[in-house]
């Protein structure tokens, strides 16, 4: 049995994992999803949210677990799990990047995200500097994030998506080979993604290599469109995790 901690991406909340959690539990594992500050049921004002507050909220979950976890980050969640890994390396068995931003030390996510000329997110962002958030135009939700998802899932997301705080994505990463670099990394790429393009995903995991690359023929949100396949990939990492650690010595 393993414990999976699931970190949502921009605009989402713990709710986006509602299909994944019961499937992991049915397979005999524990699964925990949380609302990062300013998302879901956490009503922290966007101006008050920082990368540090994201990291602290996840570290609180890890500190309450007696065993190391498999930490999964979707999209913007990638920068969160990387920074958490620097703070709690002993609490993490594997880092899993699901169509996620994998950003090197000293760089912030924002320039990488804005460089993605194939992304429909970039061309449909509305930024509110005064209140400290950015939001995707509603008319772009389906094509950018949920192109292969059902009408019901798009309606659910439309009702629940919330503005994304500006500060975390503009904060440079602070990760080291000693801490972050000592944890096995897996990247799950989504090959029909119009939010974070496949070419950018490949560029990121090539620049900061992972021990394993898994490909899914989905849009940006396989937790909606292909939950069984995603869970098969996640649960397949349990024996592989030990092999990766052994290979690293």
Residues 199-244 pLDDT 10s: 999 999 999 999 999 999 999 999 999 999 999 999 999 754 455 4
> CATH code at 228?
3.40.50.1820
* pLDDT for the residue 246: 52
The pTM (predicted TM-score) of the whole model is 0.95
Give the count of beta carbons closer than 10 Å to the beta carbon of residue 229: 14
Q: Per-residue pLDDT tens for 88-103?
A: 999 999 999 999 999 9
* Token pair in block for residue 181: 């670099």
Quickly state the pLDDT bin for 247 (edges 50, 70, 90). Answer: low
User: Which residue is listed with tokens 């966007």?
Assistant: 46
Domain count, the chain: 1
What CA–CA distance (Å, rounded) separates 119 from 85?
27
> With helix as H, strand as E and coil as C, how does 26-49 read?
HCCCEEEECCCCCCCCCCCCHHHC
For the chain, how many residues are written?
Answer: 249
What CA–CA distance (Å, rounded) separates 172 from 236?
32
* pLDDT for the residue 97: 98
- Residues 6 or more apart whose Cβ sits within 8 Å of residue 84: 55, 58, 59, 62, 71, 92
User: 229 by DSSP, 3-state: which?
Assistant: helix
Q: Per-residue pLDDT tens for 47-98?
A: 999 999 999 999 999 999 999 999 999 999 999 999 999 999 999 999 999 9
Percent pLDDT > 90 in the chain is: 95
Q: Is residue 153 predicted with pLDDT exceeding 90?
A: yes
Give me the chain's average pLDDT, please: 95
Exposed/middle/buried for 191, CB within 10 Å: 0-12, 13-18, 19+? middle
What CA–CA distance (Å, rounded) separates 55 from 215?
28
* pLDDT for the residue 242: 52
Q: Residue 84: give the domain boundaries.
A: 3-247
Q: Per-residue pLDDT tens for 108-137?
A: 999 999 999 999 999 999 999 999 999 999
Q: Per-residue pLDDT tens for 189-199?
A: 999 999 999 99
List 189's β-bridge partners, or say none. Answer: 215
Q: Per-residue pLDDT tens for 167-181?
A: 999 999 999 999 999
Helix pair angle (51-63, 77-87), 10° resolution: 60
What is the pLDDT averaged over residues 137-145? 97
- Residues 6 or more apart whose Cβ sits within 8 Å of residue 39: 8, 11, 12, 13, 162
* pLDDT for the residue 34: 98
């Amino acid at each position: 049995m393993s414990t999976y901690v699931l970190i949502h991406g921009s605009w989402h909340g713990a709710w986006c994992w509602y299909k994944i959690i019961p499937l992991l539990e049915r397979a005999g594992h524990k699964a925990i999803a949380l609302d990062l500050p300013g998302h879901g049921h956490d009503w922290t004002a966007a101006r008050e949210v920082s990368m540090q507050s994201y990291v602290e909220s996840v570290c609180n979950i890890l500190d309450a677990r007696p065993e190391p976890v498999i930490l999964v980050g979707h999209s913007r969640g990638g920068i969160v799990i990387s920074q958490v890994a620097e703070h709690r390396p002993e609490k993490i068995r594997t880092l899993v990047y699901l169509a996620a931003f994998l950003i090197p030390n000293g760089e912030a996510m924002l320039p990488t995200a804005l460089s993605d000329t194939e992304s429909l997110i970039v061309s449909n962002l509305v930024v509110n500097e005064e209140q400290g958030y950015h939001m995707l135009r509603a008319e772009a939700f389906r094509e950018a994030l949920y192109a292969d998802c059902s009408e019901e899932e798009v309606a659910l997301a439309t009702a629940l998506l919330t503005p994304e705080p500006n500060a975390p994505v503009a904060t440079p990463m602070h990760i080291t080979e000693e801490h972050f670099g000592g944890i096995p990394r897996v990247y799950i790429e989504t090959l029909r993604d119009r939010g974070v393009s496949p070419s950018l995903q490949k560029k990121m995991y090539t620049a900061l290599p992972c021990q394993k690359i898994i490909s899914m023929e989905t849009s940006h949100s396989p937790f909606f469109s292909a939950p069984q396949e995603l869970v098969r990939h996640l649960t397949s990492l349990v024996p592989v995790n030990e092999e990766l650690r052994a290979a690293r010595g």
